Chain A
Amino acid sequence: MSEVIVITSGKGGVGKTTSTANIGTGLAKLGKNVVMIDTDIGLRNLDVVMGLENRIVYNLVDVVEGNCRMKQALIKDKRYPNLALLPSAQTRDKTAVNPEQMVKLIDELKADFDYILLDCPAGIEQGFKNAIAAADRALIVTTPEVSAIRDADRIIGLLEANEIHKIDLIVNRLRMDMVKRGDMMSIEDVIDILAIDLIGAVPDDENIVIATNQGEPLAGDSSLAGTAYMNICKRILGEEVPLMNLEVNNGFFSKITKLFK
């Protein structure tokens, strides 16, 4: 039985696409059959973060309109044979697809995949409604900022109104040094305010920028963010993984060790 997970946030730029790419890659590394769907019609980005932008022939709108078969539009990731991407259309807009068509499209994929990840666009309009239409559960991405948390709260309300009750939180871009100083809300503060379950926290790690530059998701590598995303994937599979220490070691000795790296 496959599970349909929507990754959403309300606010833009908090890391939905990066999270989708890394969770997709992580789940594939754990041996699951995964398809990621970019539902941001008109502003596609997941292909670039995955490094698959040169392999797009057909897209989501082509499948919905019957211009091609599903198999033709799916891009197999050469690095992980059990990972696929359904890219979005770049030259169309959100109204090209409606929620019923999304449900039908996703039903078609359920036979072949264990996990169907939906990268949701920012906002609460048509694109959001398309993305959540077929979802069994949701992952809310937020950063420890007033604006992002406010939007996340609104999204939680909308998801519940749409009968999606399995909602988990990812707190992204945490800077433990600032939390320690009291200049950033802590994970506990964010959970306290939003009152939903935490599935993972991802530190503000420059390796994410490097990975995105290269189109190579880092889930499962030795970096802090890579480990954090892998832990999230394991928790999605139901494993109990303790929260990792997010602190970047900037002490004297770590600086010395870095010199010799």
Chain B
Amino acid sequence: MALMDFFRKKSSGDVAKDRLKLLLISDRANCSPEMMELIKNDIIKVISKYMEIDCEGLDIQITQTESEGENGHVPALCANIPIKDMKHGVKD
């Protein structure tokens, strides 16, 4: 049995817990999909000034991260931005 467990993927209880954690972070942050879209567009605008990025592959979401100081976990805005080309020097 233990050997079977070892080879098995994540248990459904753990899957439920992880899904809930993410769900509650965005519930508690009260962040609507529209607002996330606005944030995403603004980030694209800012980053594009300095480098060429893959707008299609860009992904942002609210997750949880270990805080440096006191009480454990805090919500974090996590952005994954694939870079196509580094521009050297800033264009105006």
Q: Which residues of A contact B (CB under 8 A)?
A: 144-146, 149-150, 153-154, 157, 178-179, 181-186, 189, 193
A153→B30 CA distance, assembly (Å): 13
- The reply to whether the CB of B14 lies closer than 8 angstroms to some CB of chain A is yes
Question: Which B1-26 residues have a C-beta within 8 angstroms of A?
Answer: 5, 11-14, 16-17, 19-21, 23-24
Minimum CB–CB distance for B63 against chain A, Å: 15
Cβ B24 vs Cβ A185 within 8 A? no
Cβ A146 vs Cβ B11 within 8 A? no
Q: Binding site of B, secondary structure by majority: helix, strand, loop or mixed?
A: helix
Cβ A153 vs Cβ B13 within 8 A? no
Cβ B27 vs Cβ A145 within 8 A? no
Cβ B20 vs Cβ A146 within 8 A? yes
Chain B residues within 8 Å of chain A by Cβ, number: 14
Query: B12 to chain A: which residues have CB within 8 Å?
Result: 182-183
Query: B5 to chain A: which residues have CB within 8 Å?
Result: 182
A145→B12 CA distance, assembly (Å): 11
- 13 further A-B contacts with Cβ under 8 Å, apart from A146-B19, A186-B13, A193-B24, are A146-B23, A149-B20, A150-B24, A150-B27, A153-B27, A154-B27, A157-B28, A178-B13, A182-B12, A183-B13, A185-B13, A189-B17, A193-B21
Query: B14 to chain A: which residues have CB within 8 Å?
Result: 182
Task: Identify the closest chain B residue to A186 (Cβ).
Answer: B13
Q: Which residues of B contact A (CB under 8 A)?
A: 5, 11-14, 16-17, 19-21, 23-24, 27-28
Query: B21 to chain A: which residues have CB within 8 Å?
Result: 193
A178→B14 CA distance, assembly (Å): 12
| Partner among A149, A153, A184, A186 whose Cβ is within 8 Å of the Cβ of B28 | A153
Query: A184 to chain B: which residues have CB within 8 Å?
Result: 13
Minimum CB–CB distance for A179 against chain B, Å: 7
Cβ B13 vs Cβ A193 within 8 A? no
Q: Binding site of A, secondary structure by majority: helix, strand, loop or mixed?
A: helix
Report 18 cross-chain contacts, Cβ distance below 8 Å, ordered by A residue.
Answer: A144-B16, A146-B19, A146-B23, A150-B20, A150-B24, A153-B27, A153-B28, A157-B28, A182-B5, A182-B11, A182-B12, A182-B13, A183-B12, A185-B20, A193-B17, A193-B20, A193-B21, A193-B24
Task: Identify the closest chain B residue to A149 (Cβ).
Answer: B20
Minimum CB–CB distance for A138 against chain B, Å: 18
| Partner among B17, B23, B28 whose Cβ is within 8 Å of the Cβ of A185 | B17
Task: Identify the closest chain B residue to A145 (Cβ).
Answer: B16
A145→B14 CA distance, assembly (Å): 12
A254→B11 CA distance, assembly (Å): 29
Query: B19 to chain A: which residues have CB within 8 Å?
Result: 146
Query: A154 to chain B: which residues have CB within 8 Å?
Result: 27
Cβ A183 vs Cβ B11 within 8 A? yes
A184→B11 CA distance, assembly (Å): 9
A123→B24 CA distance, assembly (Å): 18
Minimum CB–CB distance for B21 against chain A, Å: 7
